[in-house]
Amino acid sequence: MIRYDFQQSVALVTGGTKGIGRAIVMALLDGQARVVVTYSQDDVAAEVFLQALTPEQKQRVNLLKSNVASRKDVHSLFEKEPITLVVNNAGILQQGDFQDLSDEQWDRTLAVNLKGPFMVGQEFLKHGPDGGAMVNISSIGGQIGGNKAPDYAASKAALISLTRSLARLGTTNNIRVNAVAPGWIKTEIFSEEQLANLQMEAAKVIPMGRLGTPEEIAGAVLFLLSAEASYITGHCLNVNGGLYFG
């Protein structure tokens, strides 16, 4: 992975202790950033994440238990650190039959996956520095739909639209806002059996013939956060092995 220089940056990564979020945090730390990392519930995973850091990395990480669907929690994040970069990664996905999708699950999914980035975006456009950057983690599900998790797909589609709106608003303060839409990514949310099945399916339907890795998503995110992407805003970058070209 290309190493970018984020030595003068303070990055906020929501949902940053596992999977794609953790890979983004580690890449930012590799670029010498200070990173505010949030998680919502899994204390065990948060402790595993923290213990895996080197002593030097721990000095540059502020790990916080925070609910991105709470205005109070989101507001407090911007009072603790002078945030210069943001990655809205926190999200929830619960698959099932459409007819079994409850009002409560629909509301919870949109609260975390869409309302959270809206509130973070509002705070960042208010407090962020000239030249700041934000990346929202969407999904291929938001581009093609999903019969197993239509609430998730709807939230991720709306997040792409929100990204474009925030990009227009951010130009006032020279703040860039982009999105990354991952395809099928190998993370710990899948069991070994599910991963084996996904890998076989990937060989059939993904032009590149494999699942992606969290590190490949992190590479795309860091590019969009970096000065190398200084003239890019309002864009949704597909990282899906050719599964979707739109």
- Check which CATH number belongs to the domain holding 160 and give it: 3.40.50.720
Amino acid at 57: Q
4: in domain: no
In a domain, 246, yes or no: no
- Has residue 81 been placed in a domain? yes
Q: Is 245 part of a structural domain of the chain? A: no
Per-residue pLDDT of the chain (246 residues; tens, 9 = 90+): 788 999 999 999 999 999 999 999 999 999 999 999 999 999 999 999 999 999 999 999 999 999 999 999 999 999 988 999 999 999 999 999 999 999 999 999 999 999 999 999 999 999 999 999 999 999 999 999 999 999 999 999 999 999 999 999 999 999 999 999 999 999 887 778 888 998 999 999 999 999 999 999 999 999 999 999 999 999 999 999 999 998
User: E strands within 170-213?
Assistant: 176-182
Q: Which residue segment(s) compose the domain that 150 sits in?
A: 10-237
CA distances from 126 to 26, 121, 153, 226 (A): 27, 8, 29, 21
**Does residue 187 lie in a domain region?**
yes
Number of structural domains (the chain) is: 1
Number of CB atoms found within 10 A of residue 246's CB? 8
pTM value is: 0.97
In a domain, 244, yes or no: no
Task: Please tell me which residue in 4, 39, 152, 244 is annotated as part of the active site.
Answer: 152
Q: Is 4 a catalytic residue?
A: no
- The answer to whether residue 66 sits within a structural domain is yes
- Establish if 242 belongs to a structural domain: no
